[in-house]
Amino acid sequence: MRNDDFHELPPWDKDDEFNEEEEGESWKPKPTTEACKAMYAQWNEVMTVLRAAVESMPDTDEEGLYDKEHMDYLKGTIIGDAYEVAVKIKSSEVGLYTIRMENAAIIRKNAQFIKISTNGFLEDGLMSEAYRRVIREEIDKFRELFKHWVSTFEKDEFEAEWGLFI
């Protein structure tokens, strides 16, 4: 079985793209969309390893600090944040600068939370060092793609109602 057979996220579907291009513009390269697709593919790698790591975590810890309910909460939170990253990547292609910036802030926060959470999981004996290392490496690769993606944003004429992304 190939790694391509393991996907946490649905494939990027061209029909999902929000195309508001001028007539005759479809042939032009879209650097933001291409960067977005690369990020989405890399986040799928993060999700694959993260899912395996979370599934390998025990239902309770050995010291009795975490009962099953709390462990389910921790696992659900980290997986939920990871899926939110994927949703925010795809929904960024609506094309509005403020939406992209808002989504970029959420993506960064969630990716950073996941990366930092692996430290606590390791410290508490809930996650192996191997999973922690691979998750962090995959998130580091994702971060480089993220930085490139953000560099492709073009400010538009719409104002952010809250004045945050001006």
pLDDT at 150 over 90: yes
CB neighbour list of residue 89: distance below 8 Å, 6 or more residues apart: 36, 39, 40, 43, 103, 107
pLDDT at 77 over 80: yes
Q: CA 141, CA 80: separation in Å to the nearest integer?
A: 21
Q: What six digits make up the tokens of 84?
A: 């939110």
pLDDT at 26 over 90: no
- Are the beta carbons of 58 and 71 closer than 8 angstroms? yes
- Higher pLDDT, residue 139 or 11: 139
- Higher pLDDT, residue 96 or 142: 142
Average pLDDT across the chain, whole number: 85
The candidate with the shortest Cα–Cα distance to 33, out of 21, 51, 45, 46, is 21
Tell me what pLDDT residue 2 has.
43
Q: CA 166, CA 161: separation in Å to the nearest integer?
A: 10
Q: What is the pLDDT of residues 86-137, one digit of tens each?
A: 999 999 888 789 999 999 999 999 999 999 999 999 998 999 999 999 999 9
- The stretch 22-34 carries a mean pLDDT of 65
Tell me what pLDDT residue 113 has.
97
pLDDT at 21 over 60: no
Tell me what pLDDT residue 1 has.
36
Q: Tell whether pTM > 0.85.
A: no
CB neighbour list of residue 86: distance below 8 Å, 6 or more residues apart: 9, 40, 43, 44, 47
Q: CA 145, CA 150: separation in Å to the nearest integer?
A: 9
Kindly give the interhelix angle for 129-151 and 97-123, rounded to the nearest 10 degrees: 170
